[in-house]
Amino acid sequence: MADELLRGTALGGRARFAAAETTSVVEKLREIHDLSPTVSAALGRVATGTLLLAATLEKLTAREPVVTVEVEGDGPAGRLVATASPAGWVRGFARNPRATAAARGDGKLDVAAVVGRNGTLTVTRDPGIGEPWRGTVPLRSGEIARDLARYLHDSEQLPSAIGLGVFVVPEGRVAHAGGWLVQLLPGVADDEAGALADRVRRLGPVTAQLRAGRGPEAWLHDLFPDGYEVLGRTPVRFECGCSRERVEKALRLLGQAEVRSLLEEARRQGEPAELRCEFCRAVYPVPPADLERLLRELESGPR
């Protein structure tokens, strides 16, 4: 079955949810970046969590809303970044894709060890209209799901529960990935919230659910036994959306000194400079003549 992102409401509109299976998209991230098993789990959780956050955005204008999550921990993986939209695409990268950490005592991949337990988590919501909105919180656990839930609670005042999981088989392939997000909206009674928290605990880890053949619909049945309403279903896919124009725009942001050093390097080598997209690793050759033109534009001031 193709990966799918579901969003909807429950508890008579006093809770909203998003849930997704993301196995093929996380496996795609592993292939593109040659991720180690532990970084596959870490970036897979970040990418899945970003998709779930994006699912809660409404499309207000012709321009697509997007969410970016950046995790900057003190672990060996370095910075982890993912961007996603409610349309179901997601992309991401890890600063150190081959980083490793010793497995935990229970044999599970130690995501917190590779991410780090100290650092920051930043969420940027670009609604597609007006200025993007950005919030940063300190990392709490490095396990990602709890960190994102804390972010939603502390920074956006949305009491939330999140489950994220990635299961990697010993040879390194991503066999299962997915996650769910539940947010309580104003008007939820304490006993209602308490009963939901009990059901969240009983649901257990996402990977155990997926390995037992239980996907998003099964989780939602367990979380909301009195019923829920699915408002949208979107196929999930990896998509970058980079282009020559965007690479040139990024180059412009690097500034004169950087462009000049690229130009000098390109002249020395007698070859175009090569710019690589961090998200999909596509290579864009930029001939010296283009770099010269760009440099002249930068030197003549802002346009």
**Smaller CB separation from Zn ion, 147 or 239:** 239
Binding of Zn ion at residue 43 (CB under 5 A)?
no
Binding of Zn ion at residue 114 (CB under 5 A)?
no
Q: Least separation, in Å, of the C-beta of 249 and Zn ion?
A: 13
Query: 250, 280, 290, 292: which one contacts Zn ion (CB under 5 A)?
Result: 280
Quote the CA–CA distance of 90 and 51 in Å, as a whole number.
7
Binding of Zn ion at residue 112 (CB under 5 A)?
no
Which are the contacts of 186, defined by CB distance < 8 A and separation ≥ 6?
Answer: 14
Query: 40, 279, 286, 298: which one contacts Zn ion (CB under 5 A)?
Result: 279
Binding of Zn ion at residue 188 (CB under 5 A)?
no
- Centroid of chain to Cα 34: 17
Quote the CA–CA distance of 85 and 47 in Å, as a whole number.
11
Query: 80, 242, 263, 291: which one contacts Zn ion (CB under 5 A)?
Result: 242
Binding of Zn ion at residue 32 (CB under 5 A)?
no
User: Per CB under 5 A, which of residues 145..184 are in contact with Zn ion?
Assistant: none
Ranges assigned E (strand) in the chain: 4-10, 15-21, 66-73, 80-84, 89-94, 119-126, 133-138, 160-168, 174-184, 228-235, 237-238, 273-276, 283-286
3-state secondary structure of 80: strand
Q: What are phi and psi of 16, to 5 degrees?
A: -125, 155
Q: For Zn ion, which stretch binds (CB under 5 A), given 37-45, 196-204, 245-253, 269-277?
A: 269-277
Q: Least separation, in Å, of the C-beta of 15 and Zn ion?
A: 36
Binding of Zn ion at residue 90 (CB under 5 A)?
no
Yes or no: say if 256 and 298 are a contact pair by the CB < 8 Å rule. Answer: yes
Q: For Zn ion, which stretch binds (CB under 5 A), given 154-162, 170-178, 237-245, 261-269?
A: 237-245
Binding of Zn ion at residue 240 (CB under 5 A)?
yes
Yes or no: say if 6 and 233 are a contact pair by the CB < 8 Å rule. Answer: yes
**Smaller CB separation from Zn ion, 224 or 279:** 279
Q: Least separation, in Å, of the C-beta of 271 and Zn ion?
A: 21
Amino acid in position 303: R
Contact residues toward Zn ion (CB under 5 A) are 240, 242, 277, 279-280, 282
